Structure 1
Amino acid sequence: MTLTVTPHREAVGLKDGLLHVDGRWRPGREGRTWTHHHPATGEAVGSFAVAEAADVDEAVRAASKAFEAGPWPRTKAGQRIAVLLRYAALLREHAEELKRLQALDNGVPLSFGGIYATSVGIAADIFEHHAGWIDKIGGQTLPAHQGGDHLAMTFREPIGVVAAILPWNAPFVLFAQKLAPALAAGCTVVLKPSEYATFCVVRMVELLAEAGLPEGVVNLVTGPGDPTGEALITHPLVDKISFTGSRAVGQRIVRASADTMKRVSLELGGKSPAIVFPDAPNIGLAGMTAMGMVTVGLSGQACVAHTRALVHRDVYEEFLGAAQMMAGAVTFGDPFDPAVLASPLINERQLGRVLGFIERGQQQGARLVTGGERMDGDYGAGNFVTPTIFAEVDNSMEIAREEVFGPVLTVLPFTEEDEAVRIANDTDYGLGAGIYTADARRAFRLARRLRAGTIGINGFQLEPHVPFGGFKQSGLGREGGRSAFEDYTELKTVLMPLTDEMM
């Protein structure tokens, strides 16, 4: 039977999306809209306004006015805490609605939308965590270095207007990772979601007003990178850009930020290794976990997925067998069906890109163990690719070096620990890594040697209170925890004499 999401659209009450500028919902000035087609069915899901340069300018100026003259940066700590806690409660109250809106946006199945790391629950926890920092982050009083009777003090103040740009694959957690610390610090925000995950973000912005956030503090501009994103990253009144997405766009943002010295936080993807030693607690589980990270839920469209499995030669075939078993267990179809475990690729462009990587992987000599095909029949209208495993991969091959962003696992053999570390670090990226071993000393030894931002030992998960980000071309800065809060502040020094004498 041909897949359709139309009944779910009507059941959730989906309506066309508008811009949210200075507390008002309105269409774009030029009336242009974007029609979103569902990645699993090709059906038109709904439309939303496209913000042109003039719309973005109005949104940024509203945020600037709210920062310079509005109450939020000067709101008492207790009141700001209360708003963020009310918002976290509203997220939990509307979790099922938001999860269904996401399934209409990006095709992520409900079964995966409830997993903690991608759920509304972790977003609520992130807001609660950062609310807790509001009355705890302060400056210092420093002793006079040169003697004399004076004070040297530091203060943390909000950085200003933040441009927060979200990807499509994990809108709940990334919405929270950007807005929670920004609002906690007293910043104002212009938010741009991906055109492939807009409807759930629109609803999350609506809930901010219910929580009591003043008008103009968070403004929403929707639309594609051109014109909406480009107008936002180049606007002279934006003080900081926080972006999660592709390396190419991140590089464009760095260049655009130079003219006005905007602060920048970037999370730009990865090619993360999972290193499996013969003494791993469970080789089969390691193989299923690695394959699950690139198939279940997002079908490998996750920046931190461990897409390179570095497996000791003694357990190489056992690992491959378990990974292949996991590949065969993944189910596709209607994202609202609780039995469905994986999503389609987000659009036809990404579908063609992934299939191109698979074709070139075979041409370059890697052995295709399973998968590598576009699904047809009842799935033919969607962007589905079968779970794919490549063996006998060399780290110089394109599929081992480039971020495929699809359900593709490359399995590379190694013999010695030093060899594994060398291969793992031989990449332009450095976002995450996994280590599978029963030897605690080896685990910590490798965790210190690997050039990556987050290391999982015998498993991997996201937490709402820890820093997340990457080394090398995986980005700049961190999201989560105290470091994220501080990244939305500027540090000011004040020198004050305590006598009539000049310092």
Structure 2
Amino acid sequence: MTLTVQPHRETLGLKDGQLFVGGQFRDSDETWTHHHPATGEEIGRFAVASVRDVDDAVRAARKAFDDGVWSRARVQERVRVLLRYANLLREHSDELRGLQALDNGVPLSFGQIYATSVGIAADIFEHHAGWIDKVGGQTLPPYQGGDHLAMTFREPVGVVAAILPWNAPFVLFAQKLAPALAAGCTIVVKPSEFASFCVIRMVQLLTEAGLPDGVVNLVTGPGEPTGQALITHPLVDKISFTGSRTVGRKIVEASAATMKRVSLELGGKSPALVFADAPNVGLAAMTCMGMVTMGLSGQACVAHTRALVAREVQEEFVTMATMMAGAVTFGDPFDPAVLASPLINARQLDRVLGYINRGQEEGARLVTGGTRLEGDLASGNFVAPTIFADVSNDMTVAREEIFGPVLTVVPFDDEDEAVRLANDTEYGLGAGIYTNDVKRAFRVAKSLRAGMVGINGFQLEPHVPFGGYKQSGLGREGGQSAYEAYTELKTVMMPLTDELM
């Protein structure tokens, strides 16, 4: 039976997507045809923003910022809009999950998990609404004596370009727009061309929440011309980007001309350190394999794709991870029994299969998987959950971000070697530690060069910083640090007498 998602398109009433500029939806001269990654079917079309369209969107955001319709709005008005929006997200949760399933093939079952759900997006907006009346400046005592004031103020950074990936549009839309709006910024958001329909709807809901015209603008389209026009626009004050390291480097280069502020989350090759005294080696194996296969099929920057496992429990770990791989189900993302998604496009499919071939050529032991799924799934970009064992840390599959359902298992002999292997990478986004020894857990956590470390588990929360060390990016999303990243700090000094300071 041939797999199809067309009936769900009709049920959701999907229409062609438009740009949103200055409070108005509009078309463009070119369109993008989106094909579903699980079936290859044409799902719909949306506008491709030209250089002129991007310029119009940025200028609309600039005008809204300079006019102060949002940046100088009363605190309670900004709070009211963000809280209203959070409630609208919850009300439309099922619709948005359905649109995401049509966009990127992420199954509805995974869209209910908190870290990737509409619910966490709503919570993020509520969280940042709470910062609006709490983050301010300081009044500092005179350092040299005398009678004068030294004060600091936090002001919105200005016009923000928010560029989203396709794999987790709900949480990343919220992680970028919620703190930016809370701080008083105006925004031009560009979703991935592989996940635009759900973001278009999220922007529509912002207008229903009462956001003034021009505060949030939407441009859809690929990196060329849309993304390039946005990151190089001279009126953009800050770029917030989540995606590949290659594009992140281009953004840093483009930002130099006008010294744009930049926040980047660029991926990872996150290690999970499984010690022999782990509370449950089998559960650790299932957790690692689940992160690499369930839901996004390993297309997640924070997935623990490198399992560093104590040599004496490596086979137990591999056995349980293999059992987990066998439990993964694929197919129609609207089927509640389906647990994992296809790879996003044919290019990524070829890339992942190329890495699997490279792993075998370099001598890694292929335990399971390694092939494209055929039969009823032949029209989709599906790869079987794959495990490599007896991997050395200098192999390509242990060093490069594969972004697919591939787990590499690297054995170690002691704690020092485990830490050395974990840090021997260009990335530094996340890590996991599995041990019953509390002292070891914190000792290793302090030694790891990673932005987020989970001990005997890993989860995302709206109020904690998210980001990494080294080439995993710049800055953090989440919590107070994210709010402050969308502000500029201004110092004001004033004498209280007529004497010279």
TM-score by length of 1: 0.99
1:295 aligns with 2:318: no
In structure 2, how many angstroms separate the alpha carbons of the residues matched to 1:460 and 1:45?
35
Structure-2 residue corresponding to 1:50: 48
| Secondary structure of 2:60 counterpart | helix
List aligned pairs for 1:379-458, cutoff 5 A. 379-458=377-456
Deviation string for 1:235-277 (max 9, x for gaps)? 0000000000000000000000000000000000000000001
Deviation at 1:283, TM superposition (A): 0.7
In structure 1, how many angstroms separate the alpha carbons of the residues matched to 2:365 and 2:94?
42
| Secondary structure of 1:74 counterpart | coil
| Secondary structure of 2:359 counterpart | helix
Q: Report percent identity of matched pairs.
A: 79
Structure-1 residue corresponding to 2:173: 175
Deviation at 1:146, TM superposition (A): 1.1
Structure-2 residue corresponding to 1:63: 61
Structure-1 residue corresponding to 2:148: 150
| Secondary structure of 2:458 counterpart | coil
Deviation at 1:125, TM superposition (A): 0.3
Q: What amino acid does structure 2 have at the position aligned with 1:302?
A: A
Structure-2 residue corresponding to 1:10: 10
Q: 2:263 aligns with which of 265, 278, 282?
A: 265
Structure-2 residue corresponding to 1:473: 471
In structure 1, how many angstroms separate the alpha carbons of the residues matched to 2:493 and 2:412?
58
In structure 2, how many angstroms separate the alpha carbons of the residues matched to 1:169 and 1:375?
21
Q: What amino acid does structure 2 have at the position aligned with 1:3?
A: L
Deviation at 1:502, TM superposition (A): 3.0
List aligned pairs for 1:157-236, cutoff 5 A. 157-236=155-234
Deviation string for 1:101-121 (max 9, x for gaps)? 000000000000000000000
In structure 1, how many angstroms separate the alpha carbons of the residues matched to 2:351 and 2:16?
30
In structure 2, how many angstroms separate the alpha carbons of the residues matched to 1:152 and 1:115?
48
- Bigger shift: residues 183-192 or 493-502: 493-502
In structure 2, how many angstroms separate the alpha carbons of the residues matched to 1:11 and 1:107?
16
In structure 1, how many angstroms separate the alpha carbons of the residues matched to 2:294 and 2:465?
25
In structure 2, how many angstroms separate the alpha carbons of the residues matched to 1:152 and 1:77?
24
Q: What amino acid does structure 2 have at the position aligned with 1:316?
A: Q
In structure 2, how many angstroms separate the alpha carbons of the residues matched to 1:264 and 1:281?
40
In structure 1, how many angstroms separate the alpha carbons of the residues matched to 2:499 and 2:33?
68
| Secondary structure of 1:495 counterpart | strand
Deviation at 1:148, TM superposition (A): 1.2
List aligned pairs for 1:65-144, cutoff 5 A. 65-144=63-142
List aligned pairs for 1:264-413, cutoff 5 A. 264-413=262-411
Structure-2 residue corresponding to 1:463: 461
In structure 1, how many angstroms separate the alpha carbons of the residues matched to 2:312 and 2:396?
26
Q: What amino acid does structure 1 have at the position aligned with 2:197?
A: F
Deviation at 1:79, TM superposition (A): 1.1
Question: What runs of 5+ residues in structure 1 fail to find an aligned partner?
Answer: none
In structure 1, how many angstroms separate the alpha carbons of the residues matched to 2:459 and 2:429?
13
| Secondary structure of 1:340 counterpart | coil
| Secondary structure of 1:108 counterpart | coil
In structure 1, how many angstroms separate the alpha carbons of the residues matched to 2:494 and 2:86?
40
In structure 2, how many angstroms separate the alpha carbons of the residues matched to 1:118 and 1:58?
32
Deviation at 1:78, TM superposition (A): 1.1
In structure 2, how many angstroms separate the alpha carbons of the residues matched to 1:228 and 1:466?
32
Q: What amino acid does structure 1 have at the position aligned with 2:306?
A: R
| Secondary structure of 1:389 counterpart | strand
Deviation at 1:70, TM superposition (A): 3.4
In structure 2, how many angstroms separate the alpha carbons of the residues matched to 1:371 and 1:43?
26
Deviation string for 1:42-86 (max 9, x for gaps)? 000000000010000000000000000131000111111011000
| Secondary structure of 1:294 counterpart | helix
Deviation string for 1:371-427 (max 9, x for gaps)? 000011100000000000000101000000000000000000001000000000000
In structure 2, how many angstroms separate the alpha carbons of the residues matched to 1:97 and 1:186?
29
Structure-1 residue corresponding to 2:253: 255
Deviation string for 1:456-497 (max 9, x for gaps)? 011111000000000000000000000000000000000011
Q: 1:39 aligns with which of 31, 37, 54?
A: 37
In structure 2, how many angstroms separate the alpha carbons of the residues matched to 1:4 and 1:129?
39
| Secondary structure of 1:200 counterpart | helix
| Secondary structure of 2:143 counterpart | coil
In structure 2, how many angstroms separate the alpha carbons of the residues matched to 1:397 and 1:52?
42
| Secondary structure of 1:72 counterpart | coil
Taking only aligned residues, the RMSD between alpha carbons, in angstroms, comes to 0.5
Q: What amino acid does structure 1 have at the position aligned with 2:445?
A: A
Deviation at 1:500, TM superposition (A): 1.8
In structure 1, how many angstroms separate the alpha carbons of the residues matched to 2:434 and 2:144?
53
Question: What runs of 5+ residues in structure 2 fail to find an aligned partner?
Answer: none
